[in-house]
Amino acid sequence: MKKKKIYVYAISKNEEKFVDRWVNSMQEADAIYVLDTGSSDQTVQKLKDRGVHVHVEEISPWRFDVARNRSLEFVPMDADICVCTDLDEVFVTGWRDKLEEIFDQDTTRLAYNYNWKLDEKETPLVNFYIEKIHTRKNYQWTHPVHEILTYTGTKQEKKKTTNEITLNHYPDPTKSRGDYLSLLELSVKEDSEDDRNMHYLGREYMYYHEWEKAIKTLHKHLKLKKATWKDERCASMRFMARCYQELGFLEEAKMWLQKAIQEAPYLRDPYIERAILAYHLNEWEEMITYTLQALKIKTHQKTYINEIFSWNETPYDLLTIAYYQLGEYDLSEFYCKKAVLMNPNDKRLQNNLVEIQKKVGH
């Protein structure tokens, strides 16, 4: 059986601390190609010392899609499979053999397991499929930020999905994402019908505490014809509720969280956010109602949209507080123990348990 030629490609800038770990993971490929966009540290030299093919080029004005496309141009045309990663990502060992087995001659793109966020024990907190493994031809990157791989071929695209290949993400928390807002504004200007980037722009305004801009933009997202993915629509509604709460319009916040629940009743997130709003309003019965509804949902959807707080100790913490406020100390203790079990290093939870047990009489 003919061995496939597999090449990794990436972009980099000032990522010297990730080089060795990344190359160790990617060296299962036949070759590695990196476009460095202007590092001032030792990234370029360290990559070259590890045998990586490095090209240095400044992209001005900066766009992620242009940089990705330039990096892809350096990949030889004899590639059977191209693997795009970032330097803060690491494949689980053995990925190449599995890729050769899965990616047959009819496949054009592969979706695989991506752990976008892990805890200190390497337990996935945010997990979804990513699709950055593809054939050499008929693909290009589009959008200035949150860029996506777009199929340009004339024949039907042939996608496959696997859980046999896993890529882990270990982001640098010190790295600035300050240009994301302007790039998202540009992206929406270039394609005002793109639902994904309209949602991202609304979310970015929320991150910047531009509450009214966020609400207006998220409204636009919900009205787009392409905005049919319920998970993302639900998220836009949740984000609008957060903005209305910040502006002091609590009834509007409640309304949009109710709409979010109706949009995606299979997700925990809108129930938990509604319970959190009830907490801020001292509505203990409602806290309990919405949190218990969330806990009935046992399936953690494989999507980037999921909130970490819906699946960590937060639901049990909410129930602990609500039952305590209602004087139901046995139930408060029961849920506090669950919360502590999930996050045993949290001092606040530990102290809460001690105080609750005083009430119970332990």
Q: What is the pLDDT of residues 122-163, one digit of tens each?
A: 989 899 999 999 999 999 999 999 999 999 999 999 999 999
Residue 215 included in any domain: yes
Residues 6 or more apart whose Cβ sits within 8 Å of residue 36:
11, 12, 13, 43, 44, 47, 54, 55, 56, 57
Number of domains in the chain: 2
225-237 pLDDT per residue, tens: 999 999 999 999 9
Same domain, residue pair 304 and 186: yes
- Does the bond joining 61 to the residue before it have cis omega, within 30 degrees of 0? yes
Q: Tokens for 214?
A: 């966020």
Q: Quick check: 272 and 309 in contact, CB under 8 A? A: yes
Residue 110 included in any domain: no
Same domain, residue pair 144 and 192: no
Residue 199, domain extent: 180-311
Same domain, residue pair 61 and 15: yes
| Section 74-85 average pLDDT | 97
Phi (first) and psi of residue 225, to 5 degrees: -65, -35
For 236: left if phi > 0, alpha if psi spans -120 to 50, otherwise beta; the answer is alpha
Same domain, residue pair 37 and 77: yes
Same domain, residue pair 202 and 244: yes
Nearest to 190 by CA among 153, 142, 138: 142
Last residue of a domain, one of 291, 311, 331: 311
Confidence tier at 304 by pLDDT (50, 70, 90): confident
In this predicted structure, the answer to whether residue 23 has a pLDDT above a threshold of 80 is yes
Would you call 342 exposed, middle or buried from its count of C-beta atoms within 10 A (0-12, 13-18, 19+)?
A: middle
Q: Tokens for 340?
A: 């502590």
pTM recorded for the entire structure: 0.91
